Chain A
Amino acid sequence: MANDGSNTGTLAPAESNLFEHRHLDTSHYQPSAYAPATTGSEAVSWTIHNSTANGIYSNPTYQHDQHPQPPGGSIQDGQNVTPVTGNTSNLGTANVPHDYSAYTSHPSSGYYTSYQQQPSHTYSQPVGAYQNTGAPYQPISSFQNTGSYASSASYSSTYYNPGDYQTTGGYQNSGGYENQATTWNNGTYSSYSSQPYTNYAPDSSGSHSSGVAATSVQYQQHYKQWEGYYNQTEVSCAPGTENLSVTSSYTSGCPIPSATSGYATPVATSGYATPKSQPPQYWRQESSSSIMPSFQPAAGNSGGDHDGYWKQWAQTSQIHQTNPIQPTYQSPLDLKSSYDKFQDQQKTTSSEGTGLHYLPPPPPLPTPQQVNPAPLQSAPYLDTRQVQIQTNPRIASNLAYGQPKTEKDSSTTSVAQKPAYIAVSLPKPTEKVSSGGDANSILKPGMFPKSLRGYVERALARCKDDKQMAACQAVMKEMITKATADGTLSTQNWDMEPLFPMPDANVVNKDSSLSSTPDSLLPKYKRSPRRSKSRWEPLPEEKPVDNPASISNDSVKYSGWVPSENDRKVVMENKGSKEDVFRNSKFSLSIQRTPSKAPQRAFKKQRLADASFASENGDASSDSDKEQSLTAYYPAIMAFSDTPEERKRREYRSKRFELGQGHRSENNHFRKKNAGAGNVYNRRASALVLSKSFEDGVSEAVEDINWDALTVKGTCQEIEKRYLRLTSAPDPATVRPEEILEKALLMVQSSQKNYLYKCDQLKSIRQDLTVQRIRNQLTVKVYETHARLTLEFGDLPEFNQCQSQLKTLYAEGIKGSYMEFAAYNLLCVILHSNNNRDLVSSMSRLSGEAKKNEAVKHALAVRAAVTSGNYVRFFRLYKAAPNLNTCLMELSVEKMRYKAVSCMCRSYRPSVPVSYVSQVLGFSTIVLTNGVSEEKDTDGLEECLEWLKAHGASIITDNNGDMLLDTKASSSTLFVPEPEDAVAHGDANLAVNDFFAKPTL
Chain B
Amino acid sequence: MAYMSMGEAHRKITEYLNRFSNAVSSQDGTSFKSLFTISSNSHYLLSLADALNLFQDYNRLIKQSNNYSQIVDIVTPLFRSLQNYRQGNLVETYHAFEKTANAFIQEFRNWESAWALEALYVIVYEIRVLAEKADKELASNGKSPEKLKGAGSLLMKVFGSLAGKGSKRVGALYVTCQLFKIYFKLGTVHLCRSVIRSIETARIFDFEEFPKRDKVTYMYYTGRLEVFNENFPAADHKLSYALKHCNPQSEANIRLILKHLIPVKLSIGILPKDRLLERYNLLEYSNIVQALRRGDLRLLRCALQDHEDRFLRSGVYLVLEKLELQVYQRLVKKIHIIQKQRDPSRAHQVKLEVIVKALKWLEIDMDVDEVECIMAILIYKNLVKGYFAHKSKVVVLSKQDPFPKLNGKPVNS
Contacts and interface: CB of A to CB of B under 8 A. Distances in A.
A909 B312 contact: no
B353 interface: no
Contact of A907 (B313, B317, B379): B379
B318 A907 contact: no
B369 A920 contact: yes
A867 interface: yes
Contacts of B318: 836, 839-840, 867
Interface in B385-413: 387-390, 396
B375 interface: yes
B325 to A, nearest CB: 7
A860 to B, nearest CB: 11
A262 B390 CA distance: 85
Interface in B361-389: 369-370, 372-380, 387-389
A916 B228 CA distance: 36
A873 B370 contact: yes
B229 interface: yes
A903 interface: yes
A913 B390 contact: yes
A844 B309 contact: yes
A869 B309 CA distance: 23
B397 to A, nearest CB: 12
A868 B322 contact: yes
A903 B229 contact: no
Chain B contact-residue range equals 20 to 34
Contact of A840 (B312, B370, B378, B387): B312
Interface string B317-339: 11001101100000000000000
A864 interface: yes
Contact of B389 (A902, A909, A920): A909
B390 A903 contact: no
A912 interface: yes
B376 A904 contact: yes
B226 to A, nearest CB: 11
Interface in B15-65: none
B375 A907 contact: yes
B312 A843 contact: yes
Nearest to A871: B373
B315 interface: yes
Nearest to B367: A872
A906 B318 CA distance: 25
Nearest to A917: B390
Contacts of A975: none
A920 B228 contact: no
Contacts of A911: 390
B352 to A, nearest CB: 12
Interface string B283-324: 000000000000000000000000001001101011001101
B317 A840 contact: yes
B73 interface: no
A870 B313 CA distance: 25
Nearest to A902: B380
B185 to A, nearest CB: 12
B118 interface: no
B313 A844 contact: yes
Contact of B325 (A843, A868, A871): A868
Given A867-B321, A907-B376, A840 B315 contact: yes
Interface in A893-933: 902-904, 906-913, 916, 920
Nearest to B379: A907
Interface string A424-454: 0000000000000000000000000000000
Contacts of A906: 376, 379-380
Contacts of A836: 228-230, 318
Contacts of A840: 228, 312, 315, 317-318
Contact of A909 (B324, B380, B388): B388
Contacts of A908: 376, 387-390
Given A836-B229, A873-B370, A868 B377 contact: yes
Nearest to B317: A840
Interface in A857-878: 864, 867-873
Contacts of A837: 189, 228, 315
Contact of B324 (A841, A868, A872): A868
A154 to B, nearest CB: 58
Nearest to A965: B390
Given A868-B325, A908-B376, A841 B187 contact: yes
B390 A916 contact: yes
Contacts of B321: 864, 867-868
A867 B322 contact: yes
Contact of A870 (B230, B322, B377): B377
A201 to B, nearest CB: 41
Given A837-B315, A843-B312, A908-B388, A873 B373 contact: yes
Contacts of A868: 321-322, 324-325, 377
B377 A869 contact: yes
A844 B390 contact: no
Contacts of B313: 844
Contacts of B228: 836-837, 840
Interface of A: 836-837, 839-841, 843-844, 864, 867-873, 902-904, 906-913, 916, 920
Given A867-B321, A907-B376, A910-B389, 19 more contacts: A837-B228, A837-B315, A840-B312, A840-B317, A844-B313, A868-B322, A868-B324, A868-B325, A868-B377, A869-B377, A870-B374, A871-B373, A872-B370, A903-B376, A906-B379, A907-B380, A911-B390, A916-B390, A920-B373
State the 5 A-B residue pairs at the shortest beta-carbon distance, nearest first: A907-B379, A909-B387, A844-B312, A872-B373, A907-B376
11 contacts: A837-B189, A837-B228, A867-B322, A868-B322, A870-B373, A870-B374, A870-B377, A907-B388, A908-B387, A910-B389, A911-B390
